[in-house]
Structure 1
Amino acid sequence: MATSEGSNLPPFSPTTEFTFTESPNPGWKHGQSVETTPEGQAWMEGEKAGWTVLDTSKEEMRKIYSVLVSGIVPRPVAFVSSISEDGFENLAPFSWFNQACLNPPIITLACLSNSKSAKDTARNIKSTKGFTVNIISEPWIEQANFASIDAPYGISEWPITGLTKAPSVQVKAARVKESAFVLECELYQAVEIKNPQTDAVSSTLILGLVKYIHMRNDVIGPTGGTIDPGKLKAVGRLGGLNYSKVSEGYTLERPAWKDFGDKILESISASNP
């Protein structure tokens, strides 16, 4: 059976639209166990195989890394453009990235100390304060992936990726013109993460304040001014060298106590006479 790292693979099928389906178990009611559906019962059968528990204080970091990036999936990918104090430009992809909070709008970016491109990015952001996060879309994933090359300091990834610089509003670092959704950020805080056993800095956690959001008009949905995932065609990061695409989803309403509270209390009372 071919894997994503093999050569005997079917051709890529580009995302043409985002499709909504029913949720996995649309008939589920509060209080019902997972095993009340055939799919849930089959899922819970897997527990009979037992568990593997890793003690992170004793395992090798390489193993912990492999397990975490394969289990915490899919992850959004930040394609970060930064510039050094002496004008050298850097472009690097990061999957240790996400939103942190809304007010103020903060994103997080973890720069591992054992990664050259990550160290360059962290140094640049701490010295010049500004950077851009460019969401990667399917049509240019190969170009973005090539920016992860271990180029020596002073060699810009821009010309070797074939990507195009676009001006930012405030920060010196350029936007990626090919990216349809870009966050223009300034440094809010840089936190040095230390290994609790050695006290050595293992990563720099960048908190970025989002100053401007650049949205290409053709990826904005018809209602509410939000992004249409089928048009953005964002890629996600999996374990190993694997990526994923976003082409299908489903909606689940958030429950409100005013709608379910009485029934929940009744069921609790019935089960605890």
Structure 2
Amino acid sequence: MSVAASSTGCYQIPAMSLPPFDHDAHTKYTEPPNASWTLGQKIENTESGRKWLEGEEQGWQIINTAEDTPQLYPLMTSAIVPRPVAFVSSVSETGVENLAPFSYFNTVTRNPPIVSFSCRNAPRVKDTATNAKNGLGFTVNIISEPFVENANVTAIDAPPDFDEWIISGLTKTPSIHVKAPRVKESAFSMECDLFQAIDIAHPVSGEITATLILAHVKYIHVRKDVLNERGVVDITQYKPIARLGDISYGRVGDVFRLPRPVWEQEREKIEQASENSQLS
């Protein structure tokens, strides 16, 4: 399916017949893609690896980012995927509440618990960036499949005094520490204080093009039904959505687990792989 960009930067899906969303599809655990892989094994020695390398025959396209072409933004957001989405609830100094999604989002540190999200300043400074700096705190909520449409509508380019909660159909619920409410429908919400706001200046023009918000997580609200017996989130129950390129979203499909190697346990295999590499 191709998705075209209009002159305003919005994306339109061509009229076509799409299958309905499969509500019966569930995340499941599988083996990793190359379950028999061994230390130092070349990618061409696996079936999937050989097929992957065939694509190199078509060559490479190189983009000079100094030439800020219209292609740059859609290319980066379609390639750096999937991205989690921060659904941020904030409030202005005058009491106007704001709700907006941000896909430039991730964790930063665990001690102290810091998360980050970035707000673009075009065509104007985002209300969320302004509100995050006012000392009243904000909440970062995670979006799950059942209310993705509710969350998506809050990305509308509304005027500063508009409360997106009105059109979202979502429910405000009081926070413990911050003035901004959290989203009741979210199975995982974080109450945050501003840790640091970093204005991103273009290295040539000096224009402030974005603001990076580092948020200190003070309280977490997590629904018990999405936790497993180890007290961590069960992805099969959580059903988080992810941001892809253009106006596309994705959900978690098959999941596989790969243990992180431990040097002392793998030392002999590593030494053998190193010897084999030097001989080849």
Q: TM-score over 0.5 for the alignment?
A: yes
Secondary structure class of the residue paired with 1:128: coil
CA RMSD of aligned residues (A): 1.7
Secondary structure class of the residue paired with 2:49: helix
- Retained in 2: the 8 A contact 1:233–1:247? no
- Retained in 2: the 8 A contact 1:111–1:122? yes
- Per the alignment, residue 55 of structure 2 pairs with 46
- Per the alignment, residue 233 of structure 1 pairs with 239
Q: Distance in 1 between matches of 2:114 and 2:94?
A: 27
Q: What do residues 9-30 of structure 1 show as CA deviations (whole Å, max 9, x unaligned)? A: 0000126643101100000111
Question: CA separation of 1:270/1:25 partners in 2, compared to 1, >3 Å: closer, same or farther?
Answer: closer
Query: Does residue 254 of structure 2 align to residue 248 of structure 1?
Result: yes
1:153, distance to aligned residue in structure 2 (A): 1.4
Structure 1 stretches of at least 4 aligned residues deviating more than 4 Å after TM superposition: 1-4
1:161, distance to aligned residue in structure 2 (A): 1.0
Query: Does residue 37 of structure 2 align to residue 28 of structure 1?
Result: yes
Q: What do residues 235-263 of structure 1 show as CA deviations (whole Å, max 9, x unaligned)? A: 00000000001132001111111122122
Query: Does residue 98 of structure 2 align to residue 90 of structure 1?
Result: yes
Q: Alignment length, in residue pairs?
A: 270
1:267, distance to aligned residue in structure 2 (A): 3.1
Query: Does residue 85 of structure 2 align to residue 64 of structure 1?
Result: no
Partner amino acid, structure 2, of 1:76: P
- Per the alignment, residue 262 of structure 1 pairs with 268
Q: What do residues 50-72 of structure 1 show as CA deviations (whole Å, max 9, x unaligned)? A: 01111111132x32111111001
The 5-angstrom pairing of residues 160-199 of structure 1 reads: 160-199=167-206
- Retained in 1: the 8 A contact 2:136–2:180? no
TM-score normalised by L of structure 1: 0.94
- Per the alignment, residue 128 of structure 1 pairs with 135
User: Which ranges of structure 1 fall in alignment gaps of 5 or more residues?
Assistant: none
Q: What do residues 205-232 of structure 1 show as CA deviations (whole Å, max 9, x unaligned)? A: 00000001100111111x2111111111
Partner amino acid, structure 1, of 2:148: I
For residue 19 of structure 2, the aligned residue among 10, 34, 45 is: 10
- Retained in 2: the 8 A contact 1:15–1:247? no
Partner amino acid, structure 2, of 1:225: G
Secondary structure class of the residue paired with 1:147: helix
- Retained in 1: the 8 A contact 2:39–2:273? no
